[in-house]
Structure 1
């Protein structure tokens, strides 16, 4: 699949692909942050979950700021600010000792860590036609998880030696990613038309379809982020070591790396909205399996199931959002949509860790499954409006509907 697409995708896209790969190869901190805070910093489960939520709070602001910067100062500059800023914030968090510094550094990691996301998505949308975007976003998703599958396994080994090294290595790969952008990715922001730029808020508040999509993404992200907050704690509660969590969560990246290249061409032909609906359900049911498993292989099966749903979701969600966004507001629209994951990163760890502490693992995972059913129904109800909106936007820019 890669060879057939390479002939059509520009050099700047492949630079973004390399950037994503390098960045995720060093993503050691996020999967082990809660374990680091509870085992190395000796914080309570609730406090550790709240610190993880502070990272999510920074991500909420990050997506909005990143989208605004992408439209105002450019995609390239926004990515450089994000990657260099992430490196600095990670070093600060890894060396923080007081709770005040930990809170501030955690928020800064979230703020800088997701600044590049709307810029990357806007760059892909700038470079490619709508018909090419599903496969392009799928390739970026593949690169991210190729790196993630390596980083989680190695991070589990490194964590057994000491958590401090994880922060420095993660910071180093952020710097390398910034250098790739600096040397290989040009500015792609469309030239603004004469006259004042349209403000985002009045347009978005009238865009009910887009707002409902954002709401569904928040629900999906709330489920998804249990994999990096509640899951390691549940496994530890079943007597499994942190290295086992590293191996189990690495299955997420391995399944994506193995499966996604073979299904990408097929997924590009499936109705996007229906695929989103089914994928969110599968993710919810995959986490729901945690209610009946307690062994390493049982958790492994759970990860494989929700990863299959994640593949379907990630293959089309970027293209759907790009289709919905007006060209002059593309960065800010994508930043607002990306904010949904930041909100989920706040809600997910708080709800999940507190549900685990007060209601137990079984009820926590069953609630994930129930939320998946709700998301399925909501997305299916929204499908006709999404198809009509995509067709109308295609006609507006002179493309086949």
Structure 2
């Protein structure tokens, strides 16, 4: 009898790692495409002014209307996703976005541009909570954090490419910017047709009645009235108001400390580069375990990074400070949507994800004017120190909230 010299091998096959699925990768591709051709506020402003459609002041109102539409859409997207399905919401929102892009290319009074920009801001943003809900509905629970991180990565790849592409398109002809927006929106809609629709309670044939609009609105409001969702949303609003100072107070403060526009752009570009490089790796190791420690770490890194802006005013200082809070951003990116997916009822994933996106959009709308006022009146050192202190309060807030409502560490 021949003796066996090699190690014994079990007959049971090694379990394969759960995959994200084709639906996710269609969503990933569409998200990247959407961001590549998005209507960027900076280039939209240049178009309005250079085409003599608005003054600098009135162009600000048009851009503000576009931002207001995004805030409204954060909630609307959740309602539509829960009522009609994530796939349909994505498809129709992108087709309507393409239509509004064409309308914006036409000459019209400023009030008309503002009205259309508001609607365009709505349709451009509606797909985001719908996409987040789709991840919760189609991706295995153990892979959701990874999926949300990769989806954030897709958006940042698009954001990184968009300025260069849109700038080149505008050099050819300013109105081509709207054609690009329409083309990428239609392409995303076509890609989304490949996503299978998830069955929802209330669909025809499942034996249950579809929600009325009144109940849909009630579902949209529910996350803001429930514990632990409401305090969690507040904590994320506060951290978003801090993080989004990178779009308002930070560039102003950099220039005030002697940096040129080119140096400001170079320092801020570190954020996009690090996100694109690091997010795939952090997403691979993401999971729903130890979410509390990850929220705490992200909040502390963001606080320290922005706090350093008050004491480190050289070019290299700004670059390193941006790198610190970018690490916090990379850690934080998949956490909020992952935890909302755990806490949300299956039939209300869209509404709960929408509440999270609403908090982030509101953080920009409120944080930008408040931050600029505080920077001017309190001074650089005091202002950035206060942002650091607030971020540390948010970190402690997560610990306090998790004591009574665990952050999903034992869910998987």
| TM-score after normalising by structure 2 | 0.79
Is 2:385 the counterpart of 1:384? no
Q: Partner residue of 1:194?
A: 208
Deviations 1:167-209 (A, max 9, x none): 5544443333223213x22212434362464641685465210
Moved more, 167-176 or 302-311: 167-176
Q: What per-residue deviation string (whole Å, max 9, x for no partner) do you get for residues 136-190 of structure 1?
A: 11111222222223334556777899977655544443333223213x2221243
The change in CA–CA distance for 1:118 and 1:370 in structure 2 (over 3 A counts) is same
Contact 1:57–1:345 (CA under 8 A) maintained in structure 2: no
Residue correspondence of structure 1 range 164-313 to structure 2 within 5 A = 168-182=179-193, 184-192=194-202, 194-195=208-209, 197=211, 199-200=218-219, 203-204=222-223, 207-238=226-257, 240=259, 242=261, 244-268=263-287, 270-313=289-332
- CA 360–158 in structure 1, closer or farther in 2 if over 3 Å, else same: farther
Match of 1:69 in 2: 80
SS of 1:220's equivalent? helix
- Rounded to whole Å, the distance in 2 between the matches of 1:351 and 1:162 is 37
DSSP 3-state at the match of 1:291 = coil
For 1:161 and 1:232, the matched residues in 2 are separated by 29
State the partner residue of 2:71: 60
Q: How far apart are 1:357 and its partner, in Å?
A: 4.5
How many pairs align? 387
Matched, 1:345 2:345: no
Residue 119 and residue 351 in structure 1: after superposition, are their counterparts in 2 closer, same or farther (change >3 A)?
same
Hey, what does 2:336 align to over in structure 1? 317
The 1:7/1:171 distance shift into structure 2, 3 A limit, reads: same
Matched, 1:123 2:134: yes
1:319 Cα offset (Å): 1.0
Residues 216 and 364 of structure 1: CA distance in aligned 2, closer, same or farther (over 3 Å): same
Distance 2:48 2:323 in 1: 27
1:145·1:254 contact (CA, 8 Å) conserved in 2?
A: no
Instruction: Please tell me whether the aligned partners of residues 50 and 350 of structure 1 are also in contact (alpha carbons under 8 angstroms).
Output: no
Structure 1 range deviating more: 112-121 or 230-239: 230-239
Q: Does the CA-based 8 Å contact 1:252-1:303 persist in structure 2?
A: yes
8-17 vs 145-154, greater mean Cα deviation: 145-154
Bigger radius of gyration: 2
CA distance in 1, matches of 2:98, 2:264: 25
Aligned partner of residue 208 in structure 1, secondary structure? coil
Contact 2:153–2:280 under 8 Å retained in 1: yes
Q: Which runs of 5+ in 1 are unaligned?
A: 395-400
Q: Is the 8 A contact 2:38 2:181 kept in 1?
A: yes
Match of 1:145 in 2: 156
User: Which of the two has greater helix per residue?
Assistant: 1
Contact 2:73 2:125 in 1 (8 A): yes
Structure 1 residues 206 and 360, CA, compared in 2 at 3 Å: closer, same or farther?
closer
TM-score, structure 1 as length reference:
0.81
Q: Measure the CA separation in 2 of the matches of 1:354 and 1:287.
A: 17
Q: Distance in 2 between matches of 1:206 and 1:381?
A: 18
Call closer, same or farther: CA 1:163–1:229 in 2, change over 3 Å: farther
Q: Which segment is superposed worse, 137-146 or 298-307?
A: 298-307
Deviations 1:239-286 (A, max 9, x none): 655555444333222112222222334342651122112212322332
Distance 1:190 1:263, change over 3 A: same
- Partner residue, 2:9: none
Change (3 A) 1:225 1:34: farther
Contact 1:54–1:346 (8 Å) recurs in 2? no
Q: Check 1:122–1:174 CA distance in 2 against 1; reply closer, same or farther (3 A cut).
A: same
Distance, in Å, in 2 between the alignment partners of 1:242 and 1:363 is 24
Gap change, CA 1:295 and 1:89, over 3 Å in 2: farther
Report deviation, 1:39.
Answer: 9.5
